Amino acid sequence: MALLDAEMAGFWAKLPLIRKLLLSHPEVEFLWWMDSDAMFTDMAFEVPWERYKDSNFVMHGWNEMVYDQKNWIGLNTGSFLLRNGQWALDILDDWAPMGPKGKIREEAGKVLTRELKNRPVFEADDQSAMVYLLATQREKWGDKVYLENSYYLHGYWGILVDRYEEMIENYHPGLGDHRWPLVTHFVGCKPCGKFGDYSVERCLKQMDRAFNFGDNQILQIYGFTHKSLASRRVKRVRNETSNPLEVKDELGLLHPAFKAIKVSSS
């Protein structure tokens, strides 16, 4: 990703890639961006698409934290939905100016730290820039931005991964929220780079648990499950059958009823 634009590295590498994807695929109505440190952990959750019929940009966040408090963690840009169209291209253009590495990004970081609540001192990042953009230009962008918090479009791993067993015991897939998160996002983990906020060992261990938590929802359709969330080994949990293809798919994951979407020809 970083090779797409030498000046938009690190936090910002996603922007030129997203722009290219939007322009290359005009047939796509919504682009769902997910950072490489995030993964789906609820395979049965259905996104409430009808809720976003008048919105172009859906992020996990809170209106009061962004617009009233200007809190730098009032939203998260690690997993979001962006409607393909001129509006998306325009907001990408307004989002990008703080991104070029070097002096521009460093000076922009000082502005963001001064203007946003509780933001530490570091170079400009895409998330803080989006909070700043919305808080200072709400009239221009706000009516088409939906800050979602009824389910976990972004779920911070630190408050989730140690509760997976509790979730399995008490809840079920399809909820998408704190009871069974749609997305578990490993914010602060950088196992392939430097300067991570958490140890590589801890991050990789919990990433494995998150993967196995999601994987179990598929394996169980076929009568298997991981021996534990910490193990990649699987065990059989259902007796053998003479009709292995006639499996019980309670979550509707094998043959989901896809909704037809009409794409404008204009």
What tokens does 232 get? 């990649």
At 256 the pLDDT is 64
Whole-Å CA distances, 257 to 31, 46, 254: 20, 11, 10
At 83 the pLDDT is 98
Whole-Å CA distances, 157 to 110, 147, 163, 215, 219: 28, 20, 10, 17, 23
At 266 the pLDDT is 45
* Whole-angstrom distance, CA of residue 30 vs CA of residue 83: 4
At 2 the pLDDT is 37
Residue among 245, 204, 207 nearest 223 (CA): 245
* Whole-angstrom distance, CA of residue 23 vs CA of residue 91: 14
Neighbours of 154 (CB within 10 A): 25
CB 149 within 8 A of CB 62: yes
Q: How many CA atoms lie within 13 A of 213 on its CB side?
A: 29
At 259 the pLDDT is 52
Report, as ranges of residue numbers, the positions in the chain whose pLDDT lies below 50: 1-4, 260-261, 263-266
* Whole-angstrom distance, CA of residue 223 vs CA of residue 205: 25
Angle (deg, nearest 10), helices 126-136 and 86-95 = 110
CB 95 within 8 A of CB 126: yes
What tokens does 120 get? 């530490």
Structure confidence by residue, pLDDT tens digits, 16-59: 999 999 999 999 999 999 999 999 999 999 999 999 999 999 99
Structure confidence by residue, pLDDT tens digits, 145-157: 999 999 999 999 9
At 193 the pLDDT is 64
Class of residue 233 by CB neighbours under 10 A (exposed 0-12, middle 13-18, buried 19+) = exposed
What average pLDDT does the chain have?
Answer: 90
CB 19 within 8 A of CB 31: no
Residue among 204, 214, 212 nearest 183 (CA): 214
User: For residue 145, which phi and psi values (nearest 5 degrees)?
Assistant: -105, 130
**Gyration radius of the chain's alpha carbons:** 20
